[in-house]
Structure 1
Amino acid sequence: MPELPEIEALRGFLADHVVGRTVERVYPLAVNALKTYQPGVADLEGRAFDAVARHGKFLDLAAGDLHLVMHLARAGWVRWNDHLPDVPPRPGKGPLALRVRLVEPAGAGFDVTEAGTQKRLAVYVVRDPAEVPGVARLGPDPLAADFTPEVFAGLLAGERRQIKGVLRDQSVIAGIGNAYSDEILHAAKMSPYKLAAKLSGQELALLYDVTGTTLRDAVERSRGLPLRDLKAEKKSGLRVHGRKGEPCPVCGDTIREVSFSDSALNYCPTCQTGGKPLADRRMSRLLK
């Protein structure tokens, strides 16, 4: 699933390639992905993109008073093409969900795709990004200048949930998902099951620092890469997430996994849980 660093890289790439360029045609291929109908995607035609923004894990392409807002969900992606096929695409069972063709350079544009059978990609055309429910609910951005240690501590104060879930909650902090929450907690040497409200002042300070460092480092690694290489870069940069059975790069212990119905977390017992493996079930006992 694309998270803050990958969406930020997509934002930068699209800003370089579409800002100032006019939309010739928009082809909606997956009707289930369209979450708004008035305005419609066809209303973007003839308009020039003038900015590309990011709201947490949402992409926002502004064209005058309209915004093409996309959430790529688990398996969505954006693919740039200098020479799109001349023949209009046909709706089908393939991954292509939306195609945006530009007037200039002739034939250039981008496709929005979604792999797999679980179709969760969401595309909106709105006059204000806040009209998108997911955007309206977002908490502060962890890379924003006003995301201070005091703000971070205030967000976690009184949170009786496990810190892993709090970091992933988009209404608390925008942009962090399953992978980078694993990476942040590993860097902080903290159990994913620790209660957020029970973090000491020292633990809060450390978690704040590694959150910013982990995300900024990932953004820098992705900067300037072609879109086709971003997914591979994300995977290569992860130290624990998705690396079950591999040695921890810090201590050499075996990285473990806890599986849930639709996701899994990874951690190092030596670095994060005092050497104790977490029970691989949803109702595992909390480790302090």
Structure 2
Amino acid sequence: MPELPEITAIADYVAEKAVGTQVRRVDVAALSVLKTYAPGPHDLVGATVTGTERIGKYFVLWTRKPDGARIALVTHLSRAGWLRWSDKLSPTPLKPGGKSPIALRVHVGPEGEGFDLTEAGTQKRLAVWIVGDPDEIEMVSTLGPDALAVTRDEFAAILAGSRAQLKTVLRDQRTLAGVGNAYSDEILHAAKLSPFATAKSLDADQVDTLYAAMRAELQDAVERSVGQHVATLKAEKRSGMKVHGRTGSPCPVCGDTVREVSFHDRSFQYCATCQTGGKVLADRRMSKLLK
């Protein structure tokens, strides 16, 4: 799933390519992707792209109509969605209901430039809203503070007020926006904290360490991602991971084997030596959780 660094890079890339161009056509291949119907895709046609924005893990394309009205295309790429830019899109209209992974196509510019919103797999969770204000979207309006904007004191207050496990707190978008499964693994590894430690149990030094690790991991990922072509962002994300997605590999810090805990629809990785004092956390598929 694209998280804060990748969405930041996508927004930066699309802004560089599209700002100042005019939306010429919007093709919808999967009606299920649209979560709003008024305004609709046709309302974007003729609007000028004025900018892009990242809100949590949401990508926002801002446009302005000839009458001055602002209209935004807001996208949540979810687990298997992606944005694919092309300097020359095919002029052939998309076929609704086909087997193509393309869900929606936006044509901008005079030379056929634009982007596709795609989704792989069978679980269709990619979502698109067309609105005057992103806050009209309930899931956007209820986001917690951004992970790179929250202050240390605000972060400490969030932790102190939560009985949830650290892994859950970092991933909960209504608590803290922008971090998902992958970067929460990396942040907790860098902070040398167990994914299952209770948020409110951290002392002041551990809060400082976790806050610093969160900022460092995200800022480093943003710096590595911004400026790249969107087609290379997935590989860049994978290459920067120390534990996430590296089950069975040696931890780059201590050399211990990176381990995994799996749930019914996801998994995460950690290093027992670095994070849990050597204790191996039980896989929930096999036994009860060891705390």
Instruction: Please tell me the TM-score bracket, short chain as reference.
Output: over 0.9
Aligned to 2:133: 128
Aligned to 2:102: 96
- Could you tell me how far 1:18 is from its partner in structure 2? 1.0
d(CA) in 1 for partners of 2:161, 2:153: 14
Query: Paired residue for 1:149, among 143, 149, 152?
Result: 152
Please report the TM-score for the alignment, with normalisation by the length of structure 2.
Answer: 0.96
AA aligned to 1:132 is I
1:178 aligns with 2:177: no
d(CA) in 1 for partners of 2:91, 2:26: 13
Matches within 5 A, 1:263-282: 263-281=266-284
d(CA) in 2 for partners of 1:54, 1:134: 14
RMSD: 0.9
d(CA) in 2 for partners of 1:12, 1:134: 23
AA aligned to 1:95 is P
d(CA) in 1 for partners of 2:219, 2:87: 29
- Could you tell me how far 1:132 is from its partner in structure 2? 1.1
1:25 aligns with 2:30: no
Question: What SS class does the counterpart of residue 48 from structure 2 fall into?
Answer: coil
Matches within 5 A, 1:1-288: 1-64=1-64, 65-91=70-96, 92-102=98-108, 104-144=109-149, 147-281=150-284, 283-286=288-291
- Could you tell me how far 1:90 is from its partner in structure 2? 1.2
Question: What SS class does the counterpart of residue 267 from structure 1 fall into?
Answer: strand
| Per-residue deviation, residues 183-223 of structure 1 (Å, max 9, x unmatched) | 00000000000000000000000000010000000001112
Gaps of 5+ in 2: 65-69
Question: What SS class does the counterpart of residue 49 from structure 2 fall into?
Answer: coil
Q: Which shifted more, 83-92 or 9-18?
A: 83-92
- Could you tell me how far 1:158 is from its partner in structure 2? 2.2
CA contact (8 A) 2:171 2:180 kept: yes
Gaps of 5+ in 1: none
AA aligned to 1:211 is M
Question: What SS class does the counterpart of residue 273 from structure 2 fall into?
Answer: helix
- Could you tell me how far 1:93 is from its partner in structure 2? 2.0
d(CA) in 2 for partners of 1:53, 1:228: 19
d(CA) in 2 for partners of 1:177, 1:143: 13
Question: What SS class does the counterpart of residue 50 from structure 1 fall into?
Answer: strand
Structure 1 stretches of 4+ moved >4 Å:
none
AA aligned to 2:33 is A
- Could you tell me how far 1:134 is from its partner in structure 2? 1.4
Question: What SS class does the counterpart of residue 35 from structure 2 fall into?
Answer: coil
d(CA) in 2 for partners of 1:20, 1:218: 28
AA aligned to 1:151 is E
d(CA) in 1 for partners of 2:124, 2:115: 19
| Per-residue deviation, residues 72-110 of structure 1 (Å, max 9, x unmatched) | 0001001111111122221212200000011x2321111
CA contact (8 A) 2:60 2:75 kept: yes
d(CA) in 2 for partners of 1:51, 1:84: 21
- Could you tell me how far 1:269 is from its partner in structure 2? 0.4
| Number of residue pairs aligned between Structure 1 and Structure 2 | 283
Question: What SS class does the counterpart of residue 67 from structure 1 fall into?
Answer: strand
| Per-residue deviation, residues 123-170 of structure 1 (Å, max 9, x unmatched) | 0001110011211111111222xx211111111112111010000000
d(CA) in 1 for partners of 2:92, 2:225: 33
User: What percentage of aligned pairs have identical amino acids?
Assistant: 56
Please report the TM-score for the alignment, with normalisation by the length of structure 1.
Answer: 0.97
